[in-house]
Homo-oligomer: A and B are copies of this chain.
Amino acid sequence: MSSSSSPRPSTTHDVARLAGVSQATVSLVLGGNPRARVAAATRERVIRAAEELGYRPNIVARGLVRGRSYALGVIVPDLANPFFLEVVRGIERVASTAGYAVLLCDARETTPARHLEALRARLIDGVIVDPLGVEGLPADSLTDLNLVVVDQPSERWPGVASDAEGAGRLAAEHLLALGHREVAMVGPATDVHSFRMRERGFTRALRAAGVALPSGWLRRAPATVAGGEAAMRALLPRRGSRPTAVFCTSDLLALGALKACATAGVAVPGAMSVVGCDDIEMARVVTPELTTVAVPARELGARAARLLLRQLDGRGGETRPGRVLPVRLVPRGTTAPPPTDP
């Protein structure tokens, strides 16, 4: 029912028969290795025959003999976060132009360990892990795997990273320059390195300026809009003091914070300044537009993919740390000097 009389796809044997050569010769001509010594005339005949039959190499068979699948795995914490999606797109572009397929794994759907199991069974050539607790993975399940980590410096695996600490610092300096002294911070509780570093950069810059971050003003929430909303609500008590500015270590959190302010009738940026981090597209959609720190997500992904591909080609030797990708503050509408009349 599904498929009718499908003409079995042609193989190297078919091509060989038509070209009047052996299968081995066909493989030599068509299978990668361009420097194989084959007479020009023969090569020509083979190519012509292959075209005539519409021959396409069977990547599975090739993978079986070469022990490769020409596919990469990518594990991200949460695809619904546009930031990670952007990283994935960077990876995908590089990978696909190099002839590699990408198997996407959302850590929220299954545990990374299970994902790895499934990937390994498919002879995945390598895996890119976005800032997810790789350290927590079963170590033995990783030893024989080509792995590149994103935004998560590690002794054991090569990786690429953005200047996460710098991102936090930029946010702090921006708020300090505007005159804020009563600031809060919202970040996820997960042990994701880049988030940790953003927090550290922020708190350090604050401390360097002699500004304290009361423990009550450090809110933990999942890196989602709903999380940001809840955290912000907690920062807006009915009575008592409240911060004049808040730094969210993810734009999704910041969007949630804005939402909470709107609901509570707190003017942004008049009564409350908000700074996000990532610079996702939605940051420019809300009104006022979100002040944030731009992180080159796509470039991060692209670099990770290139690094992994180099490694697969054996040219992995040059695993120098790799320049940390710079971030930059994007001042927009959600930040202003603190209200003069508290």
Residues B3 and A144 in contact, CB atoms below 8 Å apart: yes
Given A59-B123, A60-B123, A79-B85, residue A144 in contact with residue B287 (CB < 8 A): no
Contact with B along A244-259 (1 / 0, CB 8 A): 0000000000011011
Q: Is A285 an interface residue (CB 8 A)?
A: yes
User: Given the known A-B contacts A6-B144, A56-B121, are A85 and B80 also in contact in the complex, defined by CB atoms under 8 Å?
Assistant: yes
Q: How many copies does the complex hold?
A: 2
A118 beta carbon closer than 8 Å to chain B: yes
Which residues of chain B are within 8 angstroms of A282 by Cβ–Cβ distance? 225, 255, 282, 285
Interface size on A, residues (CB 8 A): 65
The verdict on A92 contacting chain B, using a C-beta distance below 8 Å, is: yes
Judging by beta carbons under 8 Å apart, are A89 and B109 in contact?
A: yes
**Inter-subunit contact A59/B121 (CB<8 Å):** yes
Taking CB atoms, residues of chain B closer than 8 Å to A123 are 58-60
- Set of chain B residues within 8 Å of A4, measured between Cβ atoms: 143-144
B319 touches A1 (CB 8 A): yes
In the complex, what distance in Å separates the CA atom of A64 from the CA atom of B122? 12
Q: Which residues of B contact A259 (CB under 8 A)?
A: 284-285, 287
Given contacts A281-B80, A285-B259, A311-B2, contact A96 B121 (CB under 8 A): no
A61 touching B59 in the complex, CB below 8 Å, given contacts A80-B281, A109-B89, A285-B225: no
Contact B89 A2 (CB under 8 A): no
Do the beta carbons of A80 and B80 come within 8 Å of each other? no
Distance (whole angstroms) from the CB of A106 to the closest CB of chain B: 7
A262–B147 Cα distance when bound, in Å, is 46
Write the residues of chain A forming the contact surface with B, with a CB cutoff of 8 angstroms.
Answer: 1-4, 6-7, 9, 56-61, 63-64, 69-71, 79-80, 82, 85, 88-89, 92-93, 96, 99, 101-104, 106, 109-110, 117-123, 143-147, 158, 225, 255-256, 258-259, 262-263, 281-282, 284-287, 311, 316-317, 319
